[in-house]
A and B are shown apart, each in its own frame.
Chain A
């Protein structure tokens, strides 16, 4: 079975060129003019790019299959152009052992895209004892995080960094930056809106304190550290300074943190409840700037499905999180005002490098695995939660019209999305 992506403009890290992409047995065999294959994907007027890579998704399996599964989450992913997703370990039970890693890897075998489990840094994500990092790294885990929580104990975090430095060089510790004591159980950004709405807030300093601490620990240990879902102007500034000082630091930001503000919470609709919380317009501007100037290395979705019932609670009782895989690229193209190649760097080869997926993801070249997405940059569409492939419906972007849409997605040579429809 061969496949050809015809008539598109190819953009990857090496630049831009016109050409067809021919695929056989899951591998790109030729790039050039007038190629043919058994299946033809029309890319006329479109951009052919390496598949997108999400460093941060909650696929909820095992344990919360009512909200999402590896399969349904991977379907969301390919509809959004992603061909690889790092699945966060805050499942039930947590992915904190070789056995748990194997379970997610087994589920991933039938997924529509590459699903890589992240492992927990501490046992049960409880922040008390180191999880068996080496055992999980042996199975291919490259990102370790207690995501949903930050590791509060500075000594434990130091040990984790030191220990991880002795593992495969591509292993990275990723931190959910939140000083829990200072957050004080806050449900939204602390500021004028939280005060007015009578909701407990999280100050920006609760995030920035942990960003500062982990920068200090990275300096102390020399370890590679990745900072997850930055949401404040102060965090962006701190990361820029640390990078200038030569530390091995990378950072991500989510689409909702460069599009929405805390004012959204005035409706008390928990679809806007997320962690870290939606911040102010000044923070949104700083995140955009950080994405544009390279301070932030990747756009990550923090795709976090929750059932309708879970969100049909008052704001403070509802769980945080929102859907992101299907809308991330379009939000970036619509909101960021960056060149398409820069957006792709933030969504594809940038995160691929951080996740240690550079061999299978992030490039369009002969001999590479055919993980591709075909983007119609001019297409406009309106977000409709009813048509989402997720098991959940908690998107805050319902009704929003976006520019830029995935037309096709190819995973290991298989057309998993054709004309914006999933093929399985």
Chain B
């Protein structure tokens, strides 16, 4: 666990010393080499991002937020690109189809001038019998600095991190975590609400099978928010021991006190597992319908990780309300992933080209 901990000081020193990206506000690609951290040493820093806890609590999350703000500004330039990771190679290893997350990471890497290798394995190479370890080592042998892993199995990125030297970013593992989603959610919520301290975040839906719910709960609470999970008992994990959250089965009761209503995607296969009788009944109890949205305070926001099932967990009219942050989330996603890649690969590195 020690290797995953970071020194936020070292990371922020590195960010300042490299003058990336805030200091190069000329709209172009700064060409000068990026300097080493002030003291020239490459002290301890974040090596993998496998879960929210790897950021070491509020300070680490704040550092990501701060960098995200800078990178958002980069994204708005005429040429939205900085040389921070020039010469670095980022591989995306997606065992599960997720075009939006893969594009978001790859766009982030490109805007940092990293080279991209894209492996779309879906589940075919598993069927061909190649072990996860062999696949990871094969990719590393091609010379990569970071591997972005998406897998339908919880813990797959943790296994990869144990086998390779490269940094590993968890882009969603099974039901476990999706840390960059949570970071972009926190950033988006803060854009709208300001400080999250004392705010009430209500996460609604299939918490049991949701990596987004786990990461969001950890990130929002680390930033001082209170989290309530709202779901039928069948869609909650079997044990909530140690979870920093309250639980409710009554959305109507919780909505008036919410600052953030976070709707999880409801998957159709849950019906065949006898977890809910029908989507209709789910929507009646837990969907954010138009009528129910009127229970929300005017300044509360509605979030969703996408892709939405309009008419199931969220009414189409609600998805398009100004309180909905869904488009902002996608936009901020690129900047958050730039911040994460930068923290992993940019801090404490010798960037001097020959």
Contacts and interface: CB of A to CB of B under 8 A. Distances in A.
Nearest to A185: B273
Interface in A315-369: 315-317
B126 A194 contact: no
A195 B162 CA distance: 22
B173 A198 contact: yes
A192 B242 contact: yes
A154 interface: no
A312 B238 contact: no
B270 to A, nearest CB: 13
B156 A198 contact: no
A198 B238 contact: no
A197 interface: yes
Nearest to B176: A198
Interface of A is mostly: loop
A29 interface: no
Contacts of B162: 269
Contact of A199 (B126, B133, B174): B174
A203 B238 contact: yes
B158 interface: yes
Contacts of A198: 154-155, 173-177, 211, 214
10 contacts: A192-B241, A194-B238, A195-B237, A195-B243, A198-B174, A198-B175, A268-B156, A312-B131, A314-B151, A317-B153
A314 B136 CA distance: 12
Given A195-B237, A199-B154, A314 B159 contact: yes
Q: Identify which of B133, B177, B211 gathers the most chain A CB atoms within 10 Å of its CB.
A: B133
A3 B238 CA distance: 59
Interface of A: 190-192, 194-199, 201, 203, 267-269, 309, 312-317
Contacts of A194: 237-239
A194 B131 CA distance: 24
Nearest to B151: A314
Interface of B: 126, 129, 131-134, 151, 153-156, 158-159, 162, 173-177, 211, 214, 237-243
B158 to A, nearest CB: 5
A267 B177 CA distance: 14
Closest 8 CB pairs between A and B?
A268-B155, A314-B153, A198-B176, A198-B175, A195-B237, A312-B133, A198-B154, A312-B131
A197 B155 contact: yes
B132 A197 contact: no
Contacts of A314: 132, 151, 153-156, 159, 174
B238 A201 contact: yes
A385 B177 CA distance: 32
B241 A268 contact: no
A192 B237 CA distance: 9
A189 B202 CA distance: 29
A316 B214 CA distance: 19
Nearest to B240: A195
Contact of A317 (B126, B134, B241): B126
A192 B239 contact: yes
A316 B151 CA distance: 11
Contact of A197 (B126, B129, B131, B154): B154
Nearest to A268: B155
Given A192-B242, A315-B159, 17 more contacts: A194-B237, A194-B238, A195-B240, A195-B243, A196-B243, A197-B176, A203-B238, A268-B154, A268-B159, A269-B159, A269-B162, A313-B126, A313-B132, A313-B153, A314-B153, A314-B154, A314-B156
B238 A313 contact: no
A83 B143 CA distance: 51
A395 B182 CA distance: 36
Contacts of A315: 153-155, 159
A192 B177 CA distance: 16
A198 B131 CA distance: 21
A194 B208 CA distance: 11
Contacts of A190: 238-239
Nearest to B237: A195
Contacts of A196: 214, 237, 242-243
A340 B13 CA distance: 61
A122 B154 CA distance: 34
Q: Identify which of B154, B177, B211 gathers the most chain A CB atoms within 10 Å of its CB.
A: B154
A263 to B, nearest CB: 12
Nearest to B155: A268
A132 to B, nearest CB: 35
B1 to A, nearest CB: 10
A312 B132 contact: yes
Contacts of A268: 154-156, 158-159
A199 B239 CA distance: 12
A195 B173 CA distance: 14
A313 B240 contact: no
Contacts of B159: 268-269, 312-315
Contacts of A312: 131-134, 159
A198 B159 CA distance: 15
Contacts of B131: 309, 312-313
B53 to A, nearest CB: 11
Nearest to A191: B239
A269 B156 CA distance: 10
A314 B176 CA distance: 13
A364 to B, nearest CB: 47
Nearest to A317: B153
